Amino acid sequence: MSQDVFEAQVTKLLHLHAPVKARQLATILGDEFGLHVDRSDVNTLLYRLRTEGKAEIDASYRWRLAGAATQAGDGADTSVASVPAEPAQPTIAFTDEQQAVIDLDPTQHLLVRGQAGSGKTTVLAARAGRLLSAMAKGSLLFLTYNSALCAYVKKAFRQAGMKGEVDVRTFHDWSRSTAKAMGFEFTGWVDGKARGDQLKRLVKEAEEEVGSHRLFDLKEAPDLLGWWGDEIAWLFGQHVTRLEDYLAVERTGRGTAVRVTQEDRRFIWCVYELYQEWLEETRQEDYDNPAGLLLRVLMERGGDLPNEYRYDHVMIDEVQDFDKSWLLVAAKIPRVSLSMAGDMAQKIYRRSFTWTSVGIQVQGGRSRRLSASHRTTRQVMDVAEYLLAGNDVTENVDYTTPVRPNKEGERVRLLLASDARQAYDKGYDFVASEFKRLRTTSVAVVLPFSRQLYPAQKALEKRGVKVKKAKGAGLGGFTGGVAVTTYHQLKGLEFDHVVVMGLHDAQYPGRILDSIAREDMEQEASLLRRVLYVAVTRAKQSVTLVGSLPFCRFFEDVPEELFDSL
């Protein structure tokens, strides 16, 4: 081990444990990190740091960083344990590959890549326990995309034997609560409908200010209002703050249906600034811009994120669906380490970033792949892989090609009917006959749209099925029985059985693609394929696909022998 690495390790431990004796530092380095050093080695380094003005020692021969008070932030106990806390004892067995990731150096950025079912979330949970037990103190923030994942992550902590305190939050919730704690008067999020109402008004205001423009003509082209909302959300997500940056940036992921010239961007920018001004005046923030809330607070206060609102370690699950602006803020939170897990094949939102653009270094050994799948069966993956064939996401440098699981199971079941109504009836009959009496087994009955959930719940209850219409935390913490939810809500979760309803082509993807300009259909179809890939790969035991003819076009290339037709 080089002297620079040794010094960096000791310095970070001083930050977390001070005041602490050299013997205690040597114990942590040896027992927890496998760095075999003697007390004398640590003392030699510490006295050198003292002569350089970097460390201090008190009358009891306890060390701390020069000028630093004993760390007491984030609810950490200020007493010094004579030995590190016992590492969390997992209730599940990890593979050697998973354990190697759990044990990696906790002082650097880390990206964990792996396909659906590779155990990314559980590995992050176990790594969290490892970090806290290794440091004996310290704070850890675990960020997720939605509340369903929060509940699921907490369950993963229990399964991994996690004993330490971890703050598990959605990025939206953390951003809002931190802004309020810093004294920002936050009055609420602006949803898509409220944004649309404001944009109608602001487009008229912009027209009076800069003159007429084809993108301002909402009466002649009412679909433009949706385009405006998407463009505003994209600008927020890419953290575009100056007109000159907007004029120069490539509008990746924005499609080509509405051609936007350099001159057009000047008109768009006028509306964008008017909208931002309205948000500032009303002390609100757009729901698609949770990072902007913190960035605005930091701009108003001046300086960086105050130390009392930072954490020693930060973990992000499903990082592929975080936006660039979100990661710019997330990178400011950790004092010591940032660990992330993701899979580009499960990217189900139009968000894009590069690691360099957000200041996160994950090259070389800082990017690790979990190469196996432990959740689903070979038969399910045989079908699921066709959903990724030719998908645009496969060109991304972080894409991980799925491997077939070793786990064997039933073939994917295919339940077809002559029309949509009959398909739904057959699907509900199937669920009632197969899963009505199950209590500890988890079954997800999933549909394309939220408005379909209540009718589905009532249809199943009519057949004697005890069912829960679940979203958010209720879905993430679901342990047994039948849950009805949407395709998107399955992101990051797992169930014993998954029944995918609504797969008549006119509904999925037809209803969605019919509203998309021809030029953007291919990109949208790739995204919709990934949504189905996520839904199908949630299953640990079986998948049943339900629809009418013509069936969902995304399965047309799957060989018939991979299905078991009911």
292: annotated binding-site residue?
no
How far from 207 is each of 151, 271, 441, CA to CA, in Å? Answer: 46, 9, 58
Does residue 186 contact residue 176 with C-beta atoms inside 8 Å?
Answer: yes
> Is 298 in a helix, a strand, or coil?
helix
Q: Tokens 């399964």 correspond to what residue? A: 159
Q: Which of 242, 241, 260, 243 is nearest to 251 (CA)?
A: 260
Here the tokens at position 395 are 């060109």
Residue type, 507: Q
Strand 63-65 and strand 55-57: pairing? antiparallel
| Distance between CA atoms of residues 410 and 541, nearest Å | 8
196 annotated to bind ligand: no
Burial of 554 (0-12, 13-18, 19+ CB in 10 A): buried
The reply to whether 34 sits in an annotated binding site is no
- Give how far Cα 511 sits from Cα of 279, 387, 503, 520, 525, Å: 33, 19, 11, 15, 12
- Name residue 179's beta-bridge partners: none
Contacts of residues 355-364 at CB distance under 8 Å and 24 or more positions apart, as own/partner, are 355/111, 357/324, 358/324, 358/327, 358/328, 358/331, 359/328, 359/331, 360/109, 360/327, 360/331, 361/108, 361/109, 362/109, 362/110, 362/111
Strand partners for 137: none
How would DSSP label each residue in 434-458? HHTT-SSSEEEEEESSGGGHHHHHH
CB 537 within 8 A of CB 376: yes
Residue 371 annotated as part of some ligand binding site:
no
116 belongs to an annotated ligand binding site: yes
Residue 454, φ and ψ in degrees, nearest 5: -65, -45
Dihedral sign (CA 166, 168, 171, 174): negative
What phi and psi values does residue 286 have, to the nearest 5 degrees?
Answer: -65, 135
How do the residues of the chain divide into helix, strand and coil, expressed in percent and rounded to 5? 45, 15, 35
Q: How far is CA 269 from CA 150, 231, 326, in A?
A: 36, 10, 21
Whose structure tokens read 């423009």? Answer: 213
Q: Is 147 annotated as a binding residue?
A: no
What is the rounded distance in angstroms from the CA atom of residue 459 to the CA atom of residue 467? 10
DSSP state of 330: H
Q: Which residues contact 358 (CB under 8 A, 6 or more apart)?
A: 324, 327, 328, 331
Q: Where are the beta strands (DSSP E) in 115-191?
A: 140-144, 167-170, 188-190
365 among annotated binding-site residues: no
CA gap 416, 8 in Å, rounded: 62
Residue 117, annotated ligand binder? yes
Residue 462: CB atoms within 10 Å: 10
From the annotation, which residues make up the binding site?
A: 114-121
From the annotation, which residues make up the binding site for ATP?
A: 114-121
